[in-house]
Amino acid sequence: MASMAEIYPLQLLIASVAGWMNQRQGEVLEYLIEENRVLREQLKGRKLRLTDDQRRRLAAKGKRLGRRLLMKVATIVTPDTILRWHHRLIAAKWTFPSKRVGRPGIMKEIRALIVRFARENCGWGYCRIEGALRNLGHRVAPSTIRKVLIEHGIRPAPDRHTSWSTFLRAHWGAIAGTDFFTTEVWTPNGLKTYYVLFLIDLKTRRVHIAGVTRNPADMFMADAADASLGFLRTTRFLIHDRDTKFSL
């Protein structure tokens, strides 16, 4: 049987080796923490994009350390974030897919189409929207269309009003605007005012000068309209103010 004198040196050796290993582990940990800080500085405030697998790995390791130790070592994200990821892992484990009973809901894309058709075409009723959807390969009953519109607070066609901004977005490629601006011209009889009628395509910002006159009467407006037919060939709507010069 070993004597007490033989045991004490062995214990001392074991304690020395353990102390050295703990010191080395601490040094390694300090280096890794500092390395993470350097990497964060290189990012210069840019947000890290972690994958679900990376979050899961950090959450599994971080939970074992606990909040107090994480406060010392976590540098990529906060300890609260790591622990929150762990809570989500636990919740996901006990979350089971629900078995829905009854008819499945309409796809989000089709619902979005129904709302868009109704808002961009204030005169379209349920059957007209049904026909537009059928042209795109979707078969939806008018009753379902009615239900979707009610859910979005959209009234039936006779009482539905389209906002000005919605109208512009819906027909932006087919709208032109027209107006007058004046210019002063010196003539032998003195300073005279000339009216310049111009049109602008809202989508392309192309401008067309329809005519210049001192008297923007009906004849001038008719001639200007004929001269602008080519510019307006792809236009469905021409907007202008309530100026009485727009007599046609």
Query: pLDDT, tens digit, for every residue of 188-216?
Result: 888 889 999 999 998 888 999 999 999 88
Any long-range contacts for 41-47 (C-beta under 8 Å, 24+ apart)?
Answer: none
Q: Is 230 left (phi over 0), alpha (psi -120 to 50) or beta?
A: alpha
119, 121, 126, 127: CA torsion to nearest 10: -150
**pLDDT at residue 37, rounded to an integer:** 75
Which residue positions in the chain have pLDDT lower than 70? Answer: 1-23, 26, 43, 45, 93-106, 158-164, 166-167, 170, 247-248
pLDDT, tens digit, 9 for 90 and up, residues 86-97:
888 777 766 555
Structural domain boundaries of the chain? Answer: 52-88, 108-170, 173-239
Q: How many residues does the chain have?
A: 248
Q: In whole angstroms, what separates CA 179 from the centre of its chain?
A: 35
| Burial (CB count within 10 angstroms: exposed 0-12, middle 13-18, buried 19+), residue 167 | middle
Q: Rounded to whole angstroms, how far apart are CA atoms 153 and 146?
A: 11
Q: What is the pLDDT of residue 97?
A: 59
SS3 state of residue 183: strand
- Give residues with Cβ within 8 angstroms of 73, minimum separation 6: 29, 33, 65
**To the nearest 5 percent, what fractions of the chain are helix, strand and coil?**
55, 15, 30
Buried b (16+ CB within 10 A) or exposed e, 14-51: eeeeeeeeeeeeeeeeeeeeeeeeeeeeeeeeeeeeee
